[in-house]
Chains A and B, each alone.
Chain A
């Protein structure tokens, strides 16, 4: 690829957001300079899954098929460009819900073929990692952003509903997986705890609010509910959140606040908790989860001898996590890099951005017509964002 300006169309449908974005980037030959988001359209499905306390794959797939074209049209219109102006397509090809992935990938392949332009298959977590490089000047594009784009190498922690993973990011296409959760992702624990407390989906924002309310109204002697903090000594890059989640469930069950009965509708299982108790429990859960994330990030940065840490993914929009990370970064002397809040949750601008990096490092898929979704794709490759090596299958 030669230098100059280029427009890239990003498409993301791996979970419960149908998203498309147009990104403008300059390519002087090494790395894409100041990618600029021209449009960033996200059709969220919270309305659909909220009552179930988590994503229902069949409902997600239906909504993706319905929304893919309206979202693509909106992204082009917002950017003020036509498909004829687009130089490449970047699409999430894994990991995620397989049918959901197939909707975006099918549309992406058809568009790239129709226009005769390259297509890049992007790893969803590469999207989160490269969300740190999204530039912008508007209030929404910058709100919450901290530290600017991280240097290479840096430590990347991706925290979301599906992932809690550490990477050593040497450069585009050189993301080394250090380790991740051995069971639940931290965002999954948030969602399950919130659902069990009857707080709705996604759980993070509500738990965050209740925790803040607890701190604002706390009286002397009042403590958050005490819950385990799984640090997994000897496994510096791994997490485990299922014990913490189960501890919350046990707390609720013992007090008759949650009926774990599969014959009951998900929305009929929680009930009867008073507001003060909900605040103390949310505070206890969030403080435990965040302390673990912050402590492990600090230890991982030290073990890797890295002085720059990026934290991205949906959970990175959590206020308590952001504040706690900032304090620890200052105390320990590493630089903290956070994406704008807008780019923490799933979006297609980050997919376009990772795609731009892949294009620059020669990662486009030459035979993309037969490209398939890979729901269990693992990002850990010496060979480029789009050609990450496949490892053993991991389910769930």
Chain B
């Protein structure tokens, strides 16, 4: 009887060890941070537009098109790197790209967008980083994919590179099919 219990204990112990090593071995990206907002509606926020100081009201914005929301700033070097991919994504006229200029100097941002070209249909200012917190942003650049019903479908933390660009393309075409 006690032998059975002992065997069971040994088995349970090795089971835990195996799970532990399994979790060590499988490919996990530690920078892959959990996101709370996937499959949720876009946060409601109001701010101003970068170019003409007009008011921006989020509830009017996300209902008709597939939208990308990209947090960027001129002081952020990876944002400069990923910019060409955002321009590439903006060539698809059926999607809308909204840029959120995070904790930045508006004048610098305007110059920066003139230099690198402006792929955004609207650029919103977030001078104190409050909108970013509503979107659960860890650090810029971050890019969100939003369905035409205003639901957040995907989020990427960090710059967009070739692989991430293809991922976005694929996800956009999947959304279009629905």
A and B from one complex? no
Chain A residues near B (Cβ < 8 Å): none
